[in-house]
Structure 1
Amino acid sequence: MGNMKALSIIAFLLLLAGYTRADAQSIVLLMDESYPPYSYSENREAKGIYVDFIREAMRSIPDYKVSFKPLPWKRALNLVETGRAFAVFPPYYRPVSRSWMDYSVPLFKETVVLFTPPELLERLKPTRWPEDYKGLRIGLQLGFATLSPQQKELFVISESPNILTNLKQIALNRIDGHPNDYLSVVWTLEHNRKDPALVNLEITPAAIINEEVAYLAFSNIHPEQWTYREDFIAKMNQSLARMRDKNRLQQIVDKWTRDVNAPAAGY
């Protein structure tokens, strides 16, 4: 009789768990489709360090079900800015120019670096950023806030959709340098060495521009359209904070960077 009662309780709990999952609120998170190893799409599958952060965080939030939608970064930002999408990752903190979004707890601290060919660095022998680099042809990633408006005025600026394209532009001598997260640039180059355009490319970190913290960010345009907004944000923040306290975020980063000779900044 005792065993039957225990089995009945287990069966009820399993049914309840199944009901909860089936009844969970579905949420779509937009993400950058071309920012490896943090956030990218491969064969239409969402991948990256920040994808793994959020997937693990969701394990303790069973009343929500998250799916990822990789998009070109500028388009993803526009959808959040106009209130047509709930959330996006991983923007940097720009409370003035991006006042239309609210931020989660920090995900990770990235180190933004200007990469140039080593021969250019040898010729310039710079000691000050950005003054000693004035006039260079700088390729930015479309939609990325890696340089301030004042800094942009010092350079000949072009924009490409991703790091890979900017690296090829350096190889073709169409630009002199590309500023972006250190780990992401090194990762992209080393994982595309089979590309004939990149097999012999040499680049070097020429200047540390700054450190930037990446976030999961939420649109605050007509927030009433997402009745679950405040509850989800609070639970996601709590889950991410617990992961940070247990060093779980850094463990995920370490797993991703074992095969790349590029130390990540951490937080």
Structure 2
Amino acid sequence: MKPNRIRKHPAKATVTAKATANATVTAAALASWVLVQSVSVPSIAVAQDVIPVVLHGEDNNKPYAFLDADGAPAGIYVRILQAAVDKMPQYDLRFENVPFKRGMDLLQSGQIMAFFPPYLRDDRNWVERYSVPILSETVVAICSKDYVLSHDLRVFPDDFTGARFANNAGYRLAGEDFFDMVAAGEITLEEANTTESNLRFLMAGRVDCYVNERMAILAGLRELAVDKEQSRNIDETAIIGQEFGYVAFGPDPDGSWPYRDQFADDLDDVLRQMRDSGEIDQLVVEYFAY
């Protein structure tokens, strides 16, 4: 008797091959889907988590914060703050520049989140927080050579009684004693929005003296193309003090910036690292070298 032939193995082998092929396709598809998800899902999450931040700065405070010839934000503080936020990928930074006085008014009224680079002042108790100090600046008084030669100038502002001073609108760099003398009529004050305008007043003899930060004055003289011969008619007569520039954060009555304090904390951390590593100093050197 011939043994029965059971021909099931080929069929089984065929089914197994198809199943294997299907399983291979399914596994490949699954792997491809997982790969796509591993790439795309985090990207979407990151994009959703990026917080847009607008920092307002001065529009005419060379070399610190101003608008360049193309209307783009420029200056040392802009470079430093951009470099800092570049290390904070959770934020998307944009700058807007306005005149100093308008910027401080907008900040005080809660219409903007932050403004740079005002100095720390006791009479600005409405400022809710400041960043860590960013740059040290030297405030000086400069006067015409004629005024210097005709007056005994030893103590600022006491020895400047009767002087005509230029001042950037909204600036209080000359100190409270100075402005008390202005209020008492002992010093005459003329204000303009820009350093260049005030330097023109000084060189034209319209005022006797001008107070501003030393590097801002030098940048203004360079902007006006004042040569060495002309500059000899101007003398630095007093060092009024050292000041630090900050990012100031004002009130938020409408809760428009719920991320403000976290951003300020993160910014402070990065600015400290940049200061301690010497990166801020390097950015200043590179700015003037350029």
TM range, smaller chain: 0.7 to 0.9
Q: Secondary structure at the match of 2:95?
A: strand
User: How does 1:87-236 map onto structure 2 within 5 Å?
Assistant: 87-152=114-179, 153=181, 154-193=186-225, 200-201=230-231, 202-222=233-253, 224-236=255-267
CA distance in 2, matches of 1:162, 1:88: 18
Counterpart of 2:21 in structure 1 is none
Q: Is the 8 A contact 1:100 1:221 kept in 2?
A: no
Q: Is the 8 A contact 2:113 2:252 kept in 1?
A: no
Q: Secondary structure at the match of 1:157?
A: strand
Q: Secondary structure at the match of 2:255?
A: helix
In structure 1, which of residues 40, 46, 51 is the aligned counterpart of residue 66 of structure 2? 40
CA distance in 2, matches of 1:17, 1:104: 31
Q: Secondary structure at the match of 2:170?
A: coil
CA distance in 1, matches of 2:280, 2:209: 31
Cα deviations by residue, 1:32-80 (Å, 9 ceiling, x for unpaired): 0000111000121000000011000012211111111110111111110
* TM superposition outliers: structure 1 runs of 4+ over 6 Å: 8-11
* 1:151 alignment partner AA: F
Structure 2 length normalisation: TM-score? Answer: 0.79
Q: Secondary structure at the match of 1:213?
A: strand
How large is the Cα RMSD of the aligned pairs? 2.6
Segment drifting more, 44-53 vs 142-151: 142-151
Q: Is the 8 A contact 1:81 1:221 kept in 2?
A: no
CA distance in 1, matches of 2:148, 2:103: 35
In structure 2, which of residues 34, 51, 55 is the aligned counterpart of residue 25 of structure 1? 51
Counterpart of 2:112 in structure 1 is 85
Percent identity of equivalent pairs: 25
Greater gyration radius? 2
Which residues of structure 2 form unaligned runs of 5+? 1-30
* 1:118 alignment partner AA: K
Segment drifting more, 19-28 vs 149-158: 19-28
Q: Is the 8 A contact 2:157 2:177 kept in 1?
A: no
Structure 1 length normalisation: TM-score? Answer: 0.85
Q: Is the 8 A contact 2:109 2:251 kept in 1?
A: no
Which residues of structure 1 form unaligned runs of 5+? 260-267
Cα deviations by residue, 1:228-251 (Å, 9 ceiling, x for unpaired): 011101100001000001011111
CA offset at residue 19 of structure 1? 5.5
Segment drifting more, 159-168 vs 248-257: 248-257
If each structure's helix is expressed as a fraction of its own residues, which one has the higher value? 2
1:233/1:145 Cα in 2 relative to 1: closer, same or farther (>3 Å)? same
Count of aligned positions: 251
